[in-house]
Amino acid sequence: MNKYQNVRVFPCALGDFDGETGFDPGLNSETGHMAAGGPLRVSCSRADTLLAAGEVEAPDLIKIDVEGAEENVLRGACGAMERRPVLFLATHSARAHRACLELLAVYRYKVHALDGGPPEGTDEVVAVASSEVAA
């Protein structure tokens, strides 16, 4: 639609498994989300599966805003995280936010809130690879 030549659309959701899942389209285009009992069936892939198959190159930057499935996308991209991309992350629940912050700490990322406050107090963060080695 925007005439970009360096964009490729994949007909799948990203998550922490390869297969099929339910999808609930929600009340509008901004609230659709994966849901086991959702009325639609969609293909799901791990980002690492797409990388291993040579379908995509390792990214330098990842933006994740997936209506509550952010942790699942991160878990499915652990191989991509080894390349240390910058992450922009918007979470959609306190539980998902905490889980993502914990996972990013395991991946040795420093997390900063986009609004300048503490990362625990916002739902939009940027994560940058830390040079510190985890103990």
Is 92 within the bounds of a domain? yes
Is 46 within the bounds of a domain? yes
Reduced DSSP (H G I as helix, E B as strand, rest coil) percent helix, strand, coil of the chain, to 5 = 25, 25, 50
Percent of the chain with pLDDT over 70: 97
Is 134 within the bounds of a domain? no
pLDDT tens for 15-55 read 999 999 999 998 987 888 888 899 999 999 999 999 999 99
CA distances from 115 to 87, 100, 105, 108 (A): 15, 18, 20, 22
Is 2 within the bounds of a domain? no
- The residue type of 109 is Y
Q: Any idea what the CATH number is for the domain that residue 27 is in? A: 3.40.50.150
pLDDT tens for 118-135 read 998 899 999 999 875 444
Structure tokens at 68: 């509550």
CA distances from 27 to 6, 14, 18, 31 (A): 32, 21, 27, 6
Residue 82: domain span: 13-129
The model scores a pTM over 0.85: yes
Is 78 within the bounds of a domain? yes
Q: How many domains does the chain divide into?
A: 1
Is 1 within the bounds of a domain? no
